Homo-oligomer: A and B are copies of this chain.
């Protein structure tokens, strides 16, 4: 087992610095709106995306301090998507606390998300005040735009896949690429762009990010099936209740007997499914070998991502070593 101590300590340091930047940027009136906007940020989170920005920048010589300021932008964008997704998914808990719409109502939650979205761009554009070239700021902001568009497309795909009976593995991978991996990619590439890294090196970093991002989401979907509620910070089996077509569900449906399939489809996306039925559905999915399959799949993506990382010509080998650990950390088996 890998020793993650140095990564975790560095992550904590970057998280604290990122939060300082965020609290400075996200302040204003009316108080209600700003309280709602900061709620999830104050509730916790590992700030792995800003960490990725800092390390992606450091690889090519960007000052950590600038990486943190840019990292605040991707963390703000991430939190914006969480606030809006929670409304759509009707999730009541996140990071162990009630969601924004649960506490302030949907109207303020929509606005809080919108505010965080605007503040994400503000965080990046403010780099002009710190002597960063306008050319790379524009390039970085375009990367943030691309991620925003792609994440919205991914969420729309996710909503539509939930309503389909048959979803292919390719559909699922495209969806999690857009919904999860795209922002992880942007987080890293924004750091590299600000460091003025060569295009071909940015492409390799993007390949690392996309593959690790997909592997991470597969692991996260596993957690939705096997983790306990406390660890998850939200009700277990909510993916099943919402009818999410994770790789586990896709695999299980392809291997299930007619009877099992009928039962699974009667539970998936059924708002009135009982806890017992959800538990039974999870047992069937596991018994069909879905976790072994997803484990294999996650490892393939992880390996591909690590190979891309290895091929990068970096100027900071410590940053590269930390990115290797970050990949292992976010994709480690937690069951």
Contact = CB atoms under 8 A, between A and B. Distances in A.
A144 B153 CA distance: 23
Q: How many copies does the complex hold?
A: 2
A160 B87 contact: no
Contacts of A133: 134
Interface residues of A, number: 42
A142 interface: yes
A157 interface: yes
A32 B156 contact: yes
Contact of A152 (B33, B126, B153): B33
A295 to B, nearest CB: 30
Nearest to A108: B156
A111 B156 contact: yes
A156 B122 CA distance: 20
Given A114-B117, A125-B142, A126-B142, 11 more contacts: A84-B114, A88-B110, A110-B113, A114-B148, A114-B152, A122-B142, A125-B138, A128-B142, A133-B134, A137-B138, A141-B141
19 contacts: A28-B149, A29-B153, A30-B156, A30-B157, A30-B160, A33-B156, A84-B110, A87-B110, A110-B113, A114-B117, A115-B149, A117-B117, A117-B148, A121-B121, A121-B144, A122-B142, A122-B145, A125-B141, A125-B145
